[in-house]
Amino acid sequence: MQDLHNEIHANVQCALKEDIGAGDLTASLIPRESVLSAAIISRENAVLCGVQWFEACFLALSPETLITWFANDGDLVQSEQKLCEIQGKSRDLLTAERSALNFLQMLSAVATQTKRFVDAIADTETVIVDTRKTLPGLRLAQKYAVTCGGGVNHRLGLYDGILIKENHIIAAGSIRSALSRALAIAPPGAVIQIEVESLSELQEALTAGAAMVLLDNFTLKQLSEAVILTHQQSEKRVILEASGNITLDNVRQVAETGIDRISIGSLTKNIQAIDLSMRFKASK
CATH number, position 190:
3.20.20.70
Interval 195-244: pLDDT, tens: 999 999 999 999 999 999 999 999 999 999 999 999 987 677 899 999 99
DSSP structure string for 33-92 = T-EEEEEEEESS-EE---HHHHHHHHHHH-TT-EEEESS-TT-EE-TT-EEEEEEEEHHH
The answer to whether residues 180 and 239 belong to one domain is: yes
In this structure, the answer to whether residues 93 and 180 fall within a common structural domain is no
DSSP labels, 77-135:
E-TT-EEEEEEEEHHHHHHHHHHHHHHHHHHHHHHHHHHHHHHHTTTSS-EEE--S---
| Of 7, 92, 97, 195, catalytic | 195
Same domain, 42 and 27: yes
pLDDT tens digits for 30-58? 998 999 999 999 999 999 999 999 999 99
Span 241-256, average pLDDT: 96
Residue percentage of the chain with pLDDT more than 90: 88
237-262 mean pLDDT: 96
- Say whether 225 is catalytic: no
253, 128: one domain: yes
CATH code of 69's domain: 3.90.1170.20
Q: What integer pLDDT is reported at residue 1 of this predicted model?
A: 55
Residue 181 annotated to the active site: no
pLDDT of 283 higher than 70: no
259 shares a domain with 125: yes
Identify the pLDDT of residue 237. 87
Are both 255 and 275 inside the same structural domain? no
Domain that holds residue 44: 4-117+271-282
Count how many domains the chain has. Answer: 2
Out of 116, 165, 176, 181, the active site residue is: 165
Q: Is 89 a catalytic residue?
A: no
43 included as an active-site residue: no
pLDDT 10s digits, 144-185: 999 999 999 999 999 989 999 988 999 889 999 999 999 899
